[in-house]
Every structure is written in structure tokens, then in C-alpha cells.
Amino acid sequence: MALVALLSGILFTTDLSGPAAAIQDKHETFAWITLFLSAATSIFWSFLRYKNQEDTTMKWVVFVLYGLAAVSVSVTGLLGGTMVYNYMMTI
């Protein structure tokens, strides 16, 4: 779903100018970071499960990566809300 959200933002929004453009750029950057972290961590966790290694210390790496993805999606949402409510940006 992160990919669908990112693509809808890329395809269906217009470029902004001024301070709103800076927020839009950060929002898109964090969307890419969220997508990458979510996909990479899911693939890594699936690999650990496949190799029956999910009870090793590597599970904590997965936990931290999912935590970073949660922070990233939160920042993405905050920036998206800022664009909508502070700059009246709509699709």
C-alpha cells in the first residue's frame, strides 16, 4: 500500500511553489524512505523466517528497522497534513 500511496502522490498532485514546495519535497523523500524501509525489512524478515532464524539476535535488527519505518511514515503523514491544512493543497 505504501507503493500505491506514493504513486498516487506522484501522479495526481501538482508541484507547489515557495515554502510549500520544500514541504512537498520532504514529504516525497520520506515517502520513498518509508517504502524502502518497509519493503527491505519485510523481505529481510521473510528471509529469516525461511531460514528458521527468526529467534536469533537478527530479530532485533528487524524490530529497529520496523521502528524506523514507523517514524518515517509518521513524519510523512505530518508533512502531508501540513501541506493540506497550512497550504490548502488538495488533489
pTM, full prediction? 0.83
Report the largest interatomic distance among the alpha carbons of the chain, rounded to a whole angstrom. 51
Is residue 52 predicted with pLDDT exceeding 90?
no
Give the chain's length: 91
pLDDT of residue 26: 95
pLDDT of residue 56: 81
Spatial CA neighbour of 89 closest among 24, 11, 10: 24
Q: Where are the domains of the chain?
A: 20-87
When computed from its CA atoms, the radius of gyration of the chain, rounded to whole angstroms, is 16
Spatial CA neighbour of 30 closest among 64, 91, 66, 79: 79
